[in-house]
Chains A and B, each alone.
Chain A
Amino acid sequence: MALDAVFRDQWGRVLATLVGVLGDIELAEEAVAEAFAVAAERWPHDGEPANPTGWLVTTARHRAVDQLRRRQVLAAKTKLLARDIETGPQPPEPLMDDTVSIPDERLELVFTCCHPALALEAQVALTLRTLGGLSTDEIALAFLVPFETMSKRLTRAKHKIRDAGIPFTVPPDHQLPDRLAAVLSVVYLIFNQGWGGGRVDLAAEAIHLGRPLADLMPDEPEVLALLALMLLHDARKAARLRDGELVPLDGQDRSLWDTRQIDEGRALLRRAMTQRRTGPYLLQAAIADLHLYQPRDWRQIAALYERLARRTRSAIVEMNRAIAVAEIDGPEAGLTVLDRLDLDHYRYFHSTRAELLRRAGRDGEAHRAYRRALDLAQTEPEQRFLAERLAETARYDRTEHDTTGR
């Protein structure tokens, strides 16, 4: 494996272990960064160690001791840590053999980072930094905020965890459902940001975060379902754009779909379904799966959206149900559902409405809805797509104005 890939892969794992030892994310981060720097220097000529995780953890622990000694602070902690290292099963030089197993504490770390006592935007940034291994620069870029802002946000979150005593632990059973939902919503939020087409592939990052969660919580159907959902959506990435233009699902070149990812997503979905507990991600993953079949089973899709809407009370889910209803009972039926929703601020509401209006032959109204959607559109491909539709419906708009003016 290329060194970069090893590092990306190991960062969260090694950092989690160090946070467990040091009880402080900031200190742990510095020590792990130093260990990675040492590895980057040595591995190319010494070769990659048999147990890279063990090597990195040991090196980071030594660096942490050095750091603490240098700083002459936290004297008690240094003693504790030094004793721990002396009595622990570590060889003097970080040349660990692969029999040493290091407990995986990434779950503890993710529950710390997604603790509800932190602001949501801080949870997101911190999760990407600690578990995802993204640099502050990359995170700032992904969320289109200045580096300084992101850096401050991360520092403030790390300090709050330390000062307020946010525990480094997997929550007990009675708290787990709520806290797990918070973790999953952070991951899904990262995934959805990824669809905006920013310079950092956040969708891939979210999948990268979802994998260890699914490994570490194999009995939580919602964890498996979220990963399935993301994989099934992301599998169509290459087909979603053609020459910079958005391609609707039915027009997509299916040979561009990532079948390996679809298979993996479907296998996860099946595993999640065997647990017999239905949650919002399971419903969404099942819907995402149904959308991949040709022809689409719109009745089943509509039925699942209905269940999801009842559960989440989300107007956006209702909007999606309207699309399915339009496929079954015609555009006017879909519009009836849409017109009950309060989604004026939502760009896809207007493009969806415009599309159904156009299909219903109400082109003047469609034209105005496309204009509203274009006003709200955020990415270039979206803007181009909508501008085209706007031009297509322009003549009807004029006709309608004429008729109403007459």
Chain B
Amino acid sequence: MQYAFLAYTPPEETDRATRPIPGALADLFDQPDVTGWARLHAHESATTLRNDEGRMLLTDGPFIDSKEYLAGLILIEADNLDRALAIAEGMLQETRPGTAIEVRPVLAGHFRGA
């Protein structure tokens, strides 16, 4: 099965774009289980387009207004939820305190090489 990890992290002081992915985490992204990943700019960079009964509304900022922001998407292949959770746990250990990973089974998708 394919799972998507949605990683939420608390706000930080330093500029995210200038910080590299921590080495241990980068190694985990290189595992064969990981089929794709995307690290996102902090939520100040977000723009939300919303379908309001046919009218397209454009707003500045992320859709979900919370302290934590969506920092990345990781796609993995795992036999079942337990295995997916184990992978997520390994990654979470290499993140800053307060980070959370939401694990979602992928219903369908098409992933081109990056």
Contact = CB atoms under 8 A, between A and B. Distances in A.
Interface string A113-127: 001010000000000
Interface stretch (A129-137, A162-170, A183-191, A237-245): A162-170
Contacts of A167: 79-82
A267 to B, nearest CB: 35
A398 B96 CA distance: 61
Contacts of B105: 163-165
**Most chain B CB atoms below 10 A, which of A163, A164, A166:** A164
A115 B85 CA distance: 12
**Most chain B CB atoms below 10 A, which of A115, A164, A165:** A165
B78 to A, nearest CB: 8
Interface string B44-62: 0000000000000000000
Q: Helix, strand, loop or mixed for chain A's interface? A: loop
B25 interface: no
Contacts of B103: 164
Q: Which bracket fits the contact residues of A? A: 10 to 19
B71 interface: no
A164 B78 CA distance: 11
Nearest to B80: A167
A75 to B, nearest CB: 18
A167 B80 CA distance: 6
Contacts of A87: none
Nearest to B86: A175
Interface string B77-101: 0111110110000000000000000
Nearest to A175: B82
Interface in B64-83: 78-82
B1 interface: yes
A279 interface: no
Interface residues of B, number: 13
Contacts of A166: 80-82
Interface string A151-167: 00000000000011111
A117 B86 CA distance: 13
B90 to A, nearest CB: 14
A49 interface: no
A370 to B, nearest CB: 46
A379 B86 CA distance: 44
Nearest to B82: A167
A94 interface: no
B109 to A, nearest CB: 14
A212 interface: no
A381 interface: no
A171 interface: yes
A163 B106 CA distance: 9
Interface string B1-26: 10100000000000000000000000
Contacts of B80: 165-167, 169
A163 B85 CA distance: 15
A164 B82 contact: no
A113 to B, nearest CB: 14
A175 B80 CA distance: 15
Contacts of A115: 81
A165 B1 CA distance: 8
Contacts of A171: 82
A157 to B, nearest CB: 13
Nearest to B103: A164
Contacts of B104: 164
27 contacts: A115-B81, A117-B81, A117-B85, A163-B105, A163-B107, A164-B81, A164-B103, A164-B104, A164-B105, A165-B1, A165-B3, A165-B78, A165-B79, A165-B80, A165-B81, A165-B84, A166-B80, A166-B81, A166-B82, A167-B79, A167-B80, A167-B81, A167-B82, A169-B80, A169-B82, A171-B82, A175-B82
Q: Which 9 A-B pairs have the closest CB atoms?
A: A167-B80, A165-B80, A165-B1, A165-B81, A166-B81, A164-B105, A164-B81, A167-B82, A163-B105
